[in-house]
Structure formats: structure tokens, C-alpha cells
Structure 1
Amino acid sequence: MKTRQKILIVQTQAENAGAQEIARHLGDGLESRGHEVQHLFFYRKTDAFDAVPNTSFCADQRPGSPMAFLVFLFRLVKQIREIKPDVVLTFQHYGNLFGAPAARLAGVRHVVANQVSAQAAMNDTIRRVDKLFGSLGMYDTITVNSADTAGEYADFPKRYTERIVYVPHGFKDKSSALTKQQAREKFGLPQTVTLLGSVARLNAMKRLDIAVRALVHDESWHLVLGGQGPDENNLRQLAADLGVSDRTYFTGEMESNEVGDLLAAMDLFVFPSEAETFGLAAVEAAQTGLPLVSNGIPVLREVLKTDSGPCSLFADSEDPDSFIAPIRTLLSDKDQAQALIQSSKKLKTMYSMDAMVDRYEKILSDKEQAELTIKGVSTA
């Protein structure tokens, strides 16, 4: 018989971004299965999670001094101890590196570390500490969400790799009930232009400068970027320097339920990111029926493919101009765009939310059964 467990999901900053989206959906799915789920963030970056039930924060902002950092660590252990979870799920590299030892200090017996940060986003120190923690058993289980990501750990010690479990991300259908005209009206976008777009946290690794630079190749193209992040001012300045500010639009941070409406406003989705473990935003966009041009890194070629073929045309972010030809192709060749769209319809089945929650429940159940066996309790 399945036992109701208290699960704590630990992450770094509270904001609307890919890892937070996955964790929120996972929490909802586990709650629907009868588990008690709480979320704990290291700090509050935006108000995105202020109204989410059973959510708490260790700090109102990112610790900016050694003393503030020590206070944060103390609060992290204290809050985990007060919640008394049966299992802690940590997300992102800092979530793993600080959340896992804090959970152990708080007396938590089971820790599942989720590798949702590409290794390109980690410096050598983080990578070495992560390798040590996984090898020593700081993490009981380590989840990855693509075969390519699993391959990044192939040279890690066996004591690390034997803990790795493949759990593909699930996602929610972002299809909108709005027409293109209604969606553009909602966001104040021009009605009669060719609108390229992307949805992402605006940081340098997403390479959204490539999408901005694409506008100089065709004066009829416009671009909308959904999301917020540290690179926004740089992108605005680039648009100004290139003389395309009047054709570049920024939405700011978006609620999850608004993303589908923005996708409905676009003619084509551009995803030049140079480092991903899955590419959730691209998968969501493809599934709604948008043609995609993506960076041809291995993980995106893996994830954006079904048994009907690829769901995207690919380019090379090291050569920004390589995006122009496939963009032109998909805007002009409706048959090729339709072939990608037909393939993308199968993504929802490949990466279902129920399948993701099933896999996590199995991980939690296996840990619970092992614990009962160690204690000599019958599991029949």
C-alpha cells in the first residue's frame, strides 16, 4: 500500500523560469497522488511564488555578504528541520550543493538531487563538489532529464553514476484559446507583421542576442521576448545599437498561464540557447504548433524529435547568421513547417506529466521500501 509522504522541494531563487515550472508541476502532481508537498526557496527574486500555498523563503533577497550568507545557511537548516520532511528534492546546482547537506544536517534521511542545470552553467568548483557529494552519498538518487545530460556524467565515479535515474520532464500543454489577432492585441503587438519570438530567462547562455541580430536581415521581421533576467538591458542596448528597437518587444516576467497566449501571437519560435538539460520552452512551443529554429546542440536534437521526425530546424549559435536561412525556409515553405508541426504533436505523449510523476513516485517508493527493510519492517 502506498504511504503518504511529506515532500519538500528545495530550489534557489523564486521566479518564473524553467526549473521552477517543472518543480511546481511536479509538486502539484505529487499532491494529486495524496502526498503532502511544500516548497522552500533560498531567496525571493520576484513575487512569482508569493501566493503559492505551502511555500516559504529563507531570505527576501540574495545574500550579499558573508554574514548574510551564514544567516541564510542557518535558516535553511532550521526551516527544513521545522518542516520535518520524509524526503527532500533539490533542484539546480546550488539547490543541490547547499540544499542536500542542509537536509542531512536537519535529519532528513532521503535526498533526491535533480540535475536541471547544464554543466556549462557550473564552474569547476561546483562540478568538483557535486561529484564529491554524489560519490559520498550526500544524494541518494540523482535524476537527469535527457540521455545527453546523463552522458555528461559518464566520466564521474561509479559511486556517483550508479545513483543516476533518467526522468524525462513532463510538461503542460500551452496551447491557447486565443486567435493570433487576439493574442497580439493582449500583448500590444502589431497585427500585420511577421513575428519571431522566444520565451526564456534572459541570461547570456540563452543567446537571445542571435534573435535580435536576425532582425537586421529582414525589415519585415519583428521579435518578442517573453521573460525577465540579467541580460535584458544588454539585449535592449543591442537592439538600439542595431537600429531595431522599434521591432523588438519585451514582456517582462510572465505567469505560467500567460505563456501559451504569447506563443499564439508568434509566427515562429527561435531557441538559440547554448546550454540546456532538456529545453522545456522549446518543447512547449513546438507542441502548440509553432515551427522552430533551434541551436543544434545534442540535447535539443534528442528532445526535439519524435518517431515522425524532427520538431525543429537546427542552426549553430556559434555562427549567428546560420539561423537566417532556416528562419526564411519555415516562413516561406509551409509544407516543411507543417512537417515539423505534425511531428511535434507527439511530444505531449513522449513527455507526459503523469509519466514524470509516476517515475518520481517510484523513486520515493523504492527509498521508503529500502528504509523499511533496513528497519526489519515487513513491506508485504
Structure 2
Amino acid sequence: MLFLQTQAELAGAQEISRLLGQELSRRQLTGVPEYETHHLFLYRKTDGCDHFPNVHFAAPRRPESLGECLAFARNFFSIVRKIKPDTMLTFQHYGNVLGALVGRAMGIPYIVANQVSSPATVNRFVGLADRILGTLGFYDVITVNSHATWNHFQSYARSYRKRLVHIPHGFAQKTTSLSKEKARDCFDLPKDVTIMGTVARLHPLKRIDLAISTLPHVPNLHLAIAGQGPHRECLEALAHTLGVADRVHFAGEVNPEQIGTFLACLDVFAFPTAAETFGLAAVEAAQAGVPVIANDLPVLREVLQVERSACALFVDAENTDKFVSCIELLLADKALYDRLSASGRELAERYSLNLMVSEYTKIIIKSNAEKGAPRRSSAFKTSS
């Protein structure tokens, strides 16, 4: 079983594929021989995925020159040929399109495309290619992680839509037994202050600048940011311009095992993102008991609720005054704070890891019934 993704870094899609690979490799599926799982990234962006079992990188960094592109293509085909997957699960728009084209050309029996990229991030030509490939049946199954994402594809051809399966993300609970004081020691964060935090790629789409912009209006509030990305220098410059650089703390890329400790440092979680297909980071924060203030997106209203009751505050994050008012309300109203903290913890049941893995298990069992049992063993037996 091969999990194919675009870039190797610690982000939501990579965490989902890591968990799936980990759990599926542990399970004995009725009527299905034991699976060997591999992870293949088109290129390595950070060392965050180096610890994945049976991990491979087609390129050490994003290919730019003609020579690098040719080396990437050669390595990519060579790795897939050696693994000889019976099932390929592709993630993100480039992973889906490239995986479908190469997978069918190489005779991979079953391809599951996972639509985890927000439409706002998809190049229109890649989006068109995805639409054509899905319509022509290059994907056997197309998973979506929310009803909002499902709705995006309802204008597509019937042959595309009939392959859609809704599987909400599941996650490993991000909790810790450490006290807030001990957790802050782990990230060198100040102890006797109020800390708002976020977990995200440092990318303009995540709009962390909007969270930084609230700090001049809320004295003594600090912001802790877990993540890496190309927008860091811009965010640091903004913090200096606003005179709040001493209250903005960059924790860098944080391993999944340490996210629970990072969340334990926080008093409030901010999620001002412009677009999501699910919003895994916000769901994990809410489940850890950290009250969430999220940008008012339909998909976030969908996933951040329990029994039709919101377990987060929603705001137009571009409106700094309203964003600030939400922060101040949450910090001043203990009853509201406690209610959101308690209801957020209930998301663990709604988005259980076992439920997600069970849904993928059904897909794999069906694939074996339709296409036959795995053909052969991989030439790879250890991590690459």
C-alpha cells in the first residue's frame, strides 16, 4: 500500500496519511493478506517526515532546473516500480493528478484520491486535470473530509461524483499530563502571561498576520505559533512594525507527539485561516480543551460543533475590532470559556481515529474483492 503526497513536512494531510499507514499496517483485514505500507513524497521540504516507516523521497527539494526535474522523474518511477503497490492512496492536488497518471500507466490496480487541498490553493490547470481524470475513472474512489468539500464537487460530472466517499478526518488525541507551567518550559514560553496560539503552515492563506494584528489592542496578550513556512519573515517584520515582536513566539515545526504539549501552553487557540477542507489543527485544539476562535467559514462551523452546538467562537478574522472583541469576551467570560472547553473535548468521539480507519478499511476490502488479492511483495523491505 503506497501513500503518495506532494511535499514532506508536518501538516494536516501528512499527519492523516501517517496515522492511516500506521493503523492499517497494524490491522488484520478479513479476507485481505497483510499489507506492507510505504510513504512516498514528491520532494522533501523539512525533516518532519523522516521518521515515517518505509519513507521515500523522489527529490531532496522541490525540483526547479531541468536537470532536477529529470532526476525527480527518474527517481519517482524507480521507487514506484520497486514498491509495486496494489493500492495507492494519493493526497493533495499534485499528488492526486500525478499519482493517477503514473499509477494507471504502471498498472496499479486500485487508486484512492484524497481531496484534502482547499480549492483556493489549487492551480486551475491542475484542478482541470483532476476533474478530467476523475470523470474518466483514473481514480477508483475519491474521498472528501467534510460536507463543505463534498458540496464543492457537486457541479462535476456524474461519473466523478459517483466515486465520492465522505470520510471525516480522525486524529490521535493531543493531550498531555504536563501542567501549563511545565508545558511552557518545553517551548521556552513566558509563564505569567496569557498566550493565544495557533498551529499552521506559515503561509499567507493561513492569515496568521491577522492574529498578530490583534496584539496591539490586547495588552499583555502573547501569541505562540507552531509551524514553518515561507511567510515567516513577513510575519516577523509585521510584529516588529506593530511593536509586538517581544510578544510573538515562533516555536518552529512541532512533531505530532509534541502538539499536545504545545496546546497545553495555550489559553486560547486562534484559527484565522482563509480556506480549509477540514481544519484539523482547530479540531485538535478544541478537543484538547483549548477554546477556539475561528474564522467564520462554513467548513469550520461544520466541523467545530457537537450535536449541532458550536464548540468555538466564529468571527470575521479580517475585522480586527471584532477579532479583538472575541478574544476579550472569551478571556473575561469564565462560563463561556469553560463551556467551549468542555464541548470541544467531545469532538474526540465525533472524529475518532478508529472510525476513520474503519472507513478506509472498507474501501481496501472492497478493492480486493473487485480487483483481486495483492499481486506480489515489494522490493523494498526497510525504510529508504
**2-structure distance, mates of 1:163, 1:318:** 37
Asked whether the 8 Å contact 1:81–1:107 carries over to 2, the reply is no
How far residue 144 of structure 1 moved from its aligned partner, in angstroms, is 0.3
Asked whether the 8 Å contact 1:9–1:23 carries over to 2, the reply is yes
Q: Which amino acid aligns with 1:16?
A: L
Asked whether the 8 Å contact 1:90–1:113 carries over to 2, the reply is yes
Asked whether the 8 Å contact 1:291–1:341 carries over to 2, the reply is yes
Equivalent residue number for residue 13 of structure 2:
19
Equivalent residue number for residue 268 of structure 1:
268
**2-structure distance, mates of 1:203, 1:251:** 15
Equivalent residue number for residue 378 of structure 1:
none
Asked whether the 8 Å contact 1:77–1:105 carries over to 2, the reply is no
Partner secondary structure for residue 154 of structure 1: helix
Asked whether the 8 Å contact 1:170–1:355 carries over to 2, the reply is yes
Equivalent residue number for residue 142 of structure 1:
142
Q: Which amino acid aligns with 2:102?
A: A
Is 1:31 the equivalent of 2:59?
Answer: no
Q: Which amino acid aligns with 2:196?
A: L
Equivalent residue number for residue 78 of structure 2:
78
**1-structure distance, mates of 2:41, 2:9:** 10
Equivalent residue number for residue 209 of structure 1:
209
Equivalent residue number for residue 31 of structure 2:
none
Equivalent residue number for residue 200 of structure 1:
200
**1-structure distance, mates of 2:214, 2:320:** 8
Asked whether the 8 Å contact 1:198–1:271 carries over to 2, the reply is yes
Question: RCO higher in 1 or 2 (8 Å CA, sep ≥ 6)?
Answer: 2
**1-structure distance, mates of 2:142, 2:367:** 13
Evaluate the alpha carbon distance shift between residue 8 and residue 294 of structure 1 in structure 2; reply closer, same or farther with a 3 A threshold.
same
* Count, aligned residues: 367
How far residue 343 of structure 1 moved from its aligned partner, in angstroms, is 1.5
How far residue 103 of structure 1 moved from its aligned partner, in angstroms, is 1.5
Equivalent residue number for residue 162 of structure 1:
162
Partner secondary structure for residue 153 of structure 2: coil
Alignment of 1:333-348 (within 5 A): 333-348=333-348
**2-structure distance, mates of 1:122, 1:317:** 23
Equivalent residue number for residue 245 of structure 1:
245
Equivalent residue number for residue 4 of structure 1:
none
How far residue 321 of structure 1 moved from its aligned partner, in angstroms, is 3.0
How far residue 38 of structure 1 moved from its aligned partner, in angstroms, is 0.7
Q: For structure 1, which segment, 356-365 or 336-345, has the greater mean C-alpha deviation from structure 2 after superposition? A: 336-345
Asked whether the 8 Å contact 1:202–1:229 carries over to 2, the reply is yes
Alignment of 1:72-151 (within 5 A): 72-151=72-151
Q: For structure 1, which segment, 101-110 or 24-33, has the greater mean C-alpha deviation from structure 2 after superposition? A: 101-110
**2-structure distance, mates of 1:356, 1:240:** 43
Partner secondary structure for residue 46 of structure 1: coil
Q: Which amino acid aligns with 1:32?
A: R
How far residue 187 of structure 1 moved from its aligned partner, in angstroms, is 1.1
What CA deviation, in whole Å up to 9, does each residue of 1:277-315 have, x standing for no partner?
A: 110000000001111100010000000000162110001
Partner secondary structure for residue 269 of structure 1: strand
Equivalent residue number for residue 317 of structure 1:
317
- Tell me which stretches of 4 or more aligned residues in structure 1 moved more than 3 Å: none
Asked whether the 8 Å contact 2:294–2:315 carries over to 1, the reply is yes
Q: Which amino acid aligns with 1:28?
A: Q
Q: Which amino acid aligns with 1:148?
A: A
Is 1:353 the equivalent of 2:353?
Answer: yes
**1-structure distance, mates of 2:77, 2:163:** 24
**1-structure distance, mates of 2:315, 2:280:** 18
Asked whether the 8 Å contact 1:309–1:340 carries over to 2, the reply is no
TM-score of the superposed pair, with normalisation by structure 2 = 0.93
**2-structure distance, mates of 1:95, 1:169:** 18
Q: For structure 1, which segment, 162-171 or 40-49, has the greater mean C-alpha deviation from structure 2 after superposition? A: 40-49
Evaluate the alpha carbon distance shift between residue 186 and residue 372 of structure 1 in structure 2; reply closer, same or farther with a 3 A threshold.
closer
How far residue 106 of structure 1 moved from its aligned partner, in angstroms, is 2.0
Asked whether the 8 Å contact 2:210–2:318 carries over to 1, the reply is no
Asked whether the 8 Å contact 2:18–2:52 carries over to 1, the reply is no
**2-structure distance, mates of 1:320, 1:67:** 47
Asked whether the 8 Å contact 2:109–2:371 carries over to 1, the reply is no
RMSD: 1.3
Unpaired segments ≥5 residues, structure 1: 1-6, 374-380
Equivalent residue number for residue 176 of structure 1:
176
Asked whether the 8 Å contact 1:116–1:145 carries over to 2, the reply is yes
Equivalent residue number for residue 376 of structure 1:
none
**2-structure distance, mates of 1:307, 1:345:** 13
TM-score of the superposed pair, with normalisation by structure 1 = 0.94
Equivalent residue number for residue 257 of structure 2:
257
Q: Which amino acid aligns with 1:318?
A: E
Asked whether the 8 Å contact 1:76–1:102 carries over to 2, the reply is no
Q: Which amino acid aligns with 2:221?
A: W
Unpaired segments ≥5 residues, structure 2: 29-34, 374-384
**2-structure distance, mates of 1:15, 1:247:** 26
Equivalent residue number for residue 10 of structure 1:
4
Alignment of 1:282-297 (within 5 A): 282-297=282-297
Partner secondary structure for residue 113 of structure 1: strand
